[in-house]
Amino acid sequence: MQYKLGELAEVINADLKGDPDCVISGVGTLQNAGSDQLSFFTNRRYARFLKSTTAAAVVLSVEDMNDCPVYSLVSKDPYLAYAKAVRYMNPEQSSDPGVHASAIVSVTASVHSSACICANSYIGEHAQIGENVYVGPGCVVEDNSVIGKGSRLVANVSVCHNIEIGERVLIHAGVVIGADGFGITNEEGKWLKIPQLGSVEIKDDVDIGANTTIDRGALENTLIEEGVKIDNQVQIGHNSIIGAYTAIAGCAVIAGSVTIGKRCMIGGATAIAGHIVITDDVVITGLSGVTNSIKKPGTYSGAMTITDNLTWRKNMARFRHLNELAIRLKAVEDKLDKSS
């Protein structure tokens, strides 16, 4: 489809510097965009590409406007404006309603007439599939689970029994929602499984990345609040609560009974220990290990940065003696205090 630049400027609430009738038919990077494509500039590392871009127009801030050789869409938040433009130019594709011949739908299930159930999917007893829901190929929705209006299960998604999913939830391929939590206890050296009797509640407008797993609660429910965005390959343990509008990057591991507040940002490959509370508006940078509750908003880091192997090995050798050095230092300080 084609869009006029003036139309896009109105959609993203940007100040247009250029021809409103300029036709835009796609998007591209600064260095590779064609003469009919839109691009954006937010990172100073790409300043050299801005000055030589052949895009039709660039979304940028007022501070960078004079360095742009082509038409400009000037915004206070260029990346947000660009995102809105891309969403407008690439609307979600609608699916034809109906149930594929190879799908299995229980006679007790409720499937809205506008829903699309694709090939080789299974809808269990008393499950409820809402208006305009898309259940992609190979998906499983087990007994008594509810999928809310406008939600999409992309492919090979497993929604276990008694799960409640809200409206406009996007669940990518390979996600498992409601598998048993890691509930076990030890009896004379052998592990005894504890039945997981809770469920999972996912509120409206949540995105869940590919191959992410969200475990059901042991007694009460695991809860993902509205607007949460979860990347690929994230593990969320039983009875955890993820606050509204929190974002969790790929490969993060969240143990059981963790409460994460609203508007938090959890970096990739972060590991969060069980039974702790993280307050609202916390940013945890990637590769961090979180073992204690965080009570104040702010940015927290806990990873050691990379260095050459020889230096790392020397540092680790010294690190093993850190407690010994601390004890010796304390002894010296006590001795100095007594002599002063």
DSSP string for 236-257: E-TT-EE-TT-EE-TT-EE-TT
Q: What is the pLDDT of residues 74-130, one digit of tens each?
A: 999 999 999 999 999 999 888 999 999 999 999 999 999 999 999 999 999 999 999
Q: What is the pLDDT of residues 25-36, one digit of tens each?
A: 999 999 999 999
- Residue 135 burial (CB count, 10 A): 32
Looking at residue 41, its pLDDT comes to: 98
Looking at residue 339, its pLDDT comes to: 85
Mean pLDDT of 225-233: 98
Looking at residue 336, its pLDDT comes to: 92
Looking at residue 92, its pLDDT comes to: 85
Nearest Cα to 296, choosing from 273, 284, 279? 279
If one compares 304 and 38, the residue with the highest pLDDT of the two is 38
Mean pLDDT of 123-149: 98
Question: What percent of the chain has pLDDT above 90?
Answer: 96
Q: How far apart are CA 282 and CA 302, in angstroms?
A: 14
pLDDT at 340 over 80: no
CATH no., domain 3-89: 3.40.1390.10
Looking at residue 291, its pLDDT comes to: 95
Looking at residue 306, its pLDDT comes to: 83
Mean pLDDT of 57-72: 97
CB 108 within 8 A of CB 125: yes
Nearest Cα to 106, choosing from 125, 120, 81? 125
Q: Does domain 98-300 have CATH number 2.160.10.10?
A: yes
**Alpha helix (H) ranges present in the chain?**
5-12, 47-52, 78-89, 309-319, 322-339
Looking at residue 192, its pLDDT comes to: 97
Question: What percent of the chain has pLDDT above 70?
Answer: 100
Query: Which pTM was predicted?
Result: 0.92
Return mean pLDDT, the chain.
Answer: 97
Catalytic residue ranges:
238
pLDDT at 272 over 90: yes
Question: pLDDT tier at 154 (50, 70, 90 boundaries)?
Answer: very high
DSSP string for 269-318: T-EE-SS-EE-SSEEE-TT-EE-S-B-S-EEE---PPP--HHHHHHHHHH
* Segments making up each domain of the chain, as ranges: 3-89, 98-300, 309-339
Quote the DSSP letter at residue 340. -
Q: How far apart are CA 285 and CA 265, in angstroms?
A: 8
- Both tokens of 59, joined, read 């979304």
